[in-house]
Amino acid sequence: MGEEAANGGGVAGSAIAASYDDQIRPLLDAVDRLRHLKVTQVGIQLPTIVVVGDQSSGKSSVLESLAGISLPRGQGICTRVPLVMRLQDDPSADEPELRLEYGSGSVAATTEAEVADAINAATAEIAGSGKGISDAPITLVVRKRGVPDLTLVDLPGITRVPVQGQPEDIYDQVARIIREYIAPRESIILNVLSATVDFPTCESIRMSQQVDRTGERTLAVVTKSDRAPEGLLDKVTADDVNIGLGYVCVRNRIGDETYDQARAEEERLFSHHPLLSKMDKSMVGIPAAIIARCLPDIVKQINDRLSHSSEELDRMPPQLNNVADAVRVFFHIVKQACTSLEKVLLRGDFEEYPDRLEFHGMARIAEMLRDYAKKLPAECPPNDQLFLMEEVRILEETKGISLPNFLPRSAFLVMLKKKVQTIGRVPQGLVNGVWEYVEDLVMKILMKHSDDFPQVQPSCRRAVQSLMDKARARSAQHVRELIEMELVADYTANPDYMKTWTEIMEGHEKLMEAVEDACKPSRITLRGFGEVDVSHLRAHADLAGKAFDLRARLTAYWKSIVLRLVDGLALHVLLSVKRLVEKDLEEDLGNELLGNKFAGVERMLAPSPSVAAKRERLSNSIVLLRQSKEVVANIMDRISTAGEQV
């Protein structure tokens, strides 16, 4: 075995190895370097060579020729579970190092002499001691001088007819495992074909064509070339089965031949055999330019991922080195939040949140104002008493020593106060609802813009809550003043008052006739009140006229009261929201975070663990992707140069 290692680990002299060393090794070395860089951790999919073939096609012999180690052989299915072979060239290795990894973390060191038995034992542990199969893989890591840096997956051989001890659905089980491994576009299918059969009849060809119709990621290794040399040249030249990546023809190791002996026999066969010696080396070898088709896709993946990671890193919060940096970033956050709030609350511009109705601030406040106006009764609130009896009782209690045809002003004010008090809670309900909504909206937008600095968000919350408490207090005071203003005097310059009063008073004469003349109908229709019964007023004929006048004045004046309560409160809300967005929010946030010797913004200098971890991950990803990009660029240059030299 020492002589074998010195000569390249049993690989350098074979036909498949010669083609590999000359053209393919640089490409696959590059892929393996990308794998060692762990580029798959950043989402880059690398090509994997998946070995498939019909039962007894010689798959294990092909793998042996690459790895220079003995694998399980025999009749029937020798490979009963996926075998992932990771070959790692180690020029300094005096002795090969082999280990098996399988199951839930099981690791078993082994040797070249015992590896076949170790694989059989691990297979039995996974798939049982019979002839059943499993999709749970075994990984064989081989560190050895002269082997290619390569990862391959050997799959169970395809068999249609179950033998004794095999499950009846053995074909379906094998086919499912094979399809799982060869379906991904990153998989390069190494289809092992026996020279002794017609290629179109091979089940492995049919399966690979199902997922790779053009053959652009399928290459073929033709085994047992020495057993059926006649017509082999025509078969690989005609390519009836559409093998896009070409053919490699090999001779299997026979019996107890050493790898040196097998290499020598293989070289003699293809050099001196009357038929096999006619094969063109370019036909037998694997064209690197064809396999290299997978590289542009890798380059695109790397560029896309690099661009995405760079953009994401650029969007990360800046690293702050001192308090001045923190203050600058803090005011930038406040400016962004205020700009967003100005759009949604003052300008009705919701381009930042087109599909989130709760962020359309101006529309939501307008809805609250409309609902508020509807809650205020358009007509003077009636009572449950008989028509005008409330007014009669008030007039009786406010009568004094005066001329009989004068309406006491105190009666009007008493009635006015009672009516205004019935709606006193409605304005307060509006401002409570508005500030509850505005607080929630301000908090959400501010948290969004300060998301990169969660360490200052508690202070921002306190500032907003304090600001909203002051806004609520100002609005509550304004509502109280609105109500008090309505009670302090009965005044309006609205011309509609006199117009409405005059129109209602046109029914005064009709009312008095029905009250004073018991022969007339007691049910009459009056403008502004509809059909009413006045029979009960005949006992109060002396006050009925004044009571009607009092009701007419209240009805006409009520429209002015409602108008003032709606318009005045709406303007107050809009002004308060405008002042909050344009002035108060920035001031209160500044006082909260910049006070006490900038204690609030100093917390921004210490990034949160999640932000720090994300920045480190993105930075490492960018370094890794740039290294990977350089690896691929170098190998593509080498392939291009080699192609020009040829």
Q: What is the C-alpha separation between 37 and 31, in angstroms, rounded?
A: 10
Model confidence over 127-166: pLDDT tens digits? 887 778 888 889 888 888 877 666 788 888 887 777 776 7
Q: What is the C-alpha separation between 469 and 478, in angstroms, rounded?
A: 14
Model confidence over 458-508: pLDDT tens digits? 889 999 999 999 999 999 999 999 999 998 888 999 999 999 999 999 999
Q: What is the pLDDT of residue 538?
A: 94
Q: Mean pLDDT for the chain?
A: 82
pLDDT at 389 over 90: yes
pLDDT at 8 over 50: no
pLDDT at 26 over 70: no
- When mean pLDDT is compared across 26-30, 238-242, 467-471, the lowest value belongs to 26-30
pLDDT at 51 over 70: yes
Q: Residue 150: in which H helix or E strand, if any?
A: strand 150-154
Percent of the chain with pLDDT over 70: 83
Can you tell me the mean pLDDT for 241-262? 79
Can you list the domains of the chain with their CATH numbers? 208-281 (no CATH), 323-397+411-493+560-606 (1.20.120.1240)
Q: Residue 533: in which H helix or E strand, if any?
A: strand 530-533
pLDDT at 574 over 80: yes
Model confidence over 279-317: pLDDT tens digits? 766 554 444 444 455 566 777 777 888 888 888 877 777
Q: What is the C-alpha separation between 203 and 476, in angstroms, rounded?
A: 84
Higher-confidence position of 153 and 644: 153
Q: What is the pLDDT of residue 256?
A: 76
User: Position 273: which residue type?
Assistant: H
Q: What is the pLDDT of residue 285?
A: 41
pLDDT at 610 over 80: no
Q: What is the C-alpha separation between 354 and 568, in angstroms, rounded?
A: 31
Percent of the chain with pLDDT over 90: 31
- When mean pLDDT is compared across 174-183, 232-241, 361-370, the lowest value belongs to 232-241
Residue with tokens 């070898």: 285
Contact 490, 611 (CB under 8 A): no
pTM: 0.54
Can you tell me the mean pLDDT for 495-524? 94
